[in-house]
Amino acid sequence: MSGVFLSIIVCTRNRADELTGCLPALASQAKEFSDVEVVVVDNGSTDSTRGVVGRASAESGFTLRYAYHGEPGLCRARNHGRDVARGRVLAYVDDDVRVGPAWIKQVREHFLARKSDCLAGRVKVDVEGELPTWFPKDLLWILGETTFGDRVRRLSFPLHPQGNNFAVTKEVFDTAGGFDPKITLYGDETEFFRRVGQHDFTTLYDPGVVVTQSIPAHRLSQKALGHKAYIWGRGSAMVWMLASPNTLRRAAKTVEYMLRAVYVGCRWCLSPRFGRYFTFWHNCGYVRQFISGIK
């Protein structure tokens, strides 16, 4: 393939089952265009990931590019995806999403029309079974659902695209310096788009560019979501420290989040609600990472 305009990049690690559901729609849509490629970055899988990519290529009649990068870390995998991609535009989706019926066409036309330098798509969540009675529907953002509304709008940092449905030009990616491999928890796209925001690039949110995130039942227990809150807090603290390395400010933030954790923890004990439970563990993650520092 020559003259590639759009590269769709899917980073994956030991999630062959999820990949099986993701790739067919991408291949089916991509084969309609001569200037679109799909690159699957295998981040050191030990399962049948390579075979899944091969079968999806054979069954769809569209060759999905397979790229292996054994050093673990989503940021490293995303950077490797950029290195091997041949397109002028890079679109990233997770291995457990289902793209909308015209997703590739919409992303492609957005950048052909030069509507913006970065595109934020909409993410819907598809929960296996029913939501637990203790989980408020207004907290679906915890599971990954976007909260930017139903209209096209411009985003300025700290608002930014979600990591499982976004696209940027290579110029944006390279100017920002790619993803920081020091971030191994949540917060990688926040830190990336913080640096993007330091330059004169535009980001547009289009709710019509939709992917659906599958949420299996085992990820909906309070224990699993508490762990998610904890590592999310650690990732957020890491992002903060990379932007503000001052030691005294970090010490002040550590105390602040300790007090927040105590306050929310007391409220949670007096009146148990999931939102308080999640916030408590999120604050604990902040404290843990502030104490650990950047390694």
Same domain? For 198 and 247 the reply is no
In 3D space, the residue among 218, 214, 197, 203 whose CA is nearest the CA of residue 154 turns out to be 203
Quick: pLDDT tens for 178-218. 999 999 889 999 999 999 999 999 999 999 999 999 999 99
**Domain end: 193, 219, 245, which one?**
219
Using the 3D structure, point to which of 219, 237, 263 is the last residue of a domain: 219
pLDDT score of 224:
96
Q: Are residues 72 and 44 in the same domain?
A: yes
pLDDT score for 1 = 43
> Looking at residue 2, what is its pLDDT?
54
For residue 83, tell me if it sits in a domain: yes
CA dihedral sign, ordered 118, 124, 127, 131:
positive
- What is the domain count for the chain? 2
Res 32: pLDDT = 96
> Do 10 and 119 share a structural domain?
yes
Query: Do residues 27 and 172 share a domain?
Result: yes
Do 134 and 207 belong to one domain? yes
Whether residues 108 and 24 fall in one domain: yes
Same domain, yes or no, for 238 and 143?
no
Q: Could you tell me if 194 and 241 lie in one domain?
A: no
Please check whether residues 276 and 184 belong to one and the same domain: no
Q: Residue 142's pLDDT is what? A: 95
Domain extent, residue 242, equals 221-292
Residues 161 and 109 in one domain: yes
Q: Which residues of the chain have pLDDT under 50?
A: 1
